[in-house]
Amino acid sequence: MIVVTGTDTGVGKTVASAALAWRLGASYWKPIQAGFDDGSDTATVAQLSGAQVFPEAYRLNTPCSPHRAAEIDGIVIDPASLNPPAGRVVIEGAGGALVPVTRELLYADLFARWQLPTVIVARTALGTINHSLLTIEALRARQVPIAGFLFVGEEVLDSQATICVIGQVRSLGRLPVLDPLTPQSLQGAAAALDLDGL
């Protein structure tokens, strides 16, 4: 069972989750989906990985932070209902680690409650060192176990190494920008990840 968070929205958590689910033979669960402009993350993971997927606990219409999307839909998110399914599961958050689930609870607080190994997905592009080290501090401040970093983008060796050395985290490897992004191309890239012990 692992949690996938990221340094921002749009960094590649869903694609990374598909790679992880395929490599680990795991199922996938996205507790809260906010917005369906590009389909759902759950459908994307099913298509890219062939993994078994669990239904979302909440499906919200507006592509924004879940706390606000729920308010717009007139839905109350009950954090007590957000419990990981049993078995080997990859669980994806929404946006970055400090995105609010409700006005009282951040994703990082939920991850702290779960105490599951948490993978941070980060861009390799300029700006990632700051976002990555901030994310590490936020998770460590809440005693969330960090399993490692999964980088997305073209190789930027110094940034990747700097994050791992200053942040004292393990690199699980990198997914390049895949064009086309298909189950085959993703599985090829996923095969190179270092997931020992996950």
Ligand X SMILES: Nc1ncnc2c1ncn2[C@@H]1O[C@H](COP(=O)(O)OP(=O)(O)OP(=O)(O)O)[C@@H](O)[C@H]1O
Ligand Y SMILES: C[C@H](N)[C@H](N)CCCCCC(=O)O
Structure tokens at 6: 């990221």
Shortest distance, CB of residue 6 to Mg ion, whole angstroms? Answer: 8
- Strand pairing report for 58-60 and 27-29: unpaired
Which region among 59-67, 129-137, 160-168, 179-187 touches ligand Y (by CB under 6 A)?
A: 59-67
Of residues 5 and 27, the one with the C-beta less far from ligand X = 5
- Local structure of 14: helix, strand or coil: helix
Structure tokens at 52: 């078994």
Residue 35 is a binding residue for ligand Y (CB under 6 A): yes
144 appears as a binding residue in the annotation: no
Q: Would you say 63 and 119 are in contact if contact means Cβ atoms under 8 Å apart?
A: no
Which region among 11-19, 75-83, 122-130, 141-149 touches ligand X (by CB under 6 A)?
A: 11-19
d(CA 82, CA 154): 35
Torsion of CA 66, 68, 71, 76, to 10 degrees: 30
Shortest distance, CB of residue 66 to Mg ion, whole angstroms? Answer: 12
Residue 152 is a binding residue for ligand X (CB under 6 A): yes
Residue 60 amino acid letter: L
Residue 174 is a binding residue for Mg ion (CB under 5 A): no
Q: Would you say 121 and 152 are in contact if contact means Cβ atoms under 8 Å apart?
A: yes
Residue nearest to Mg ion as judged by C-beta position: 14
Q: List binding-site positions for ATP.
A: 10-15, 41, 92-95, 184
Residues comprising the binding site? 10-15, 41, 92-95, 184
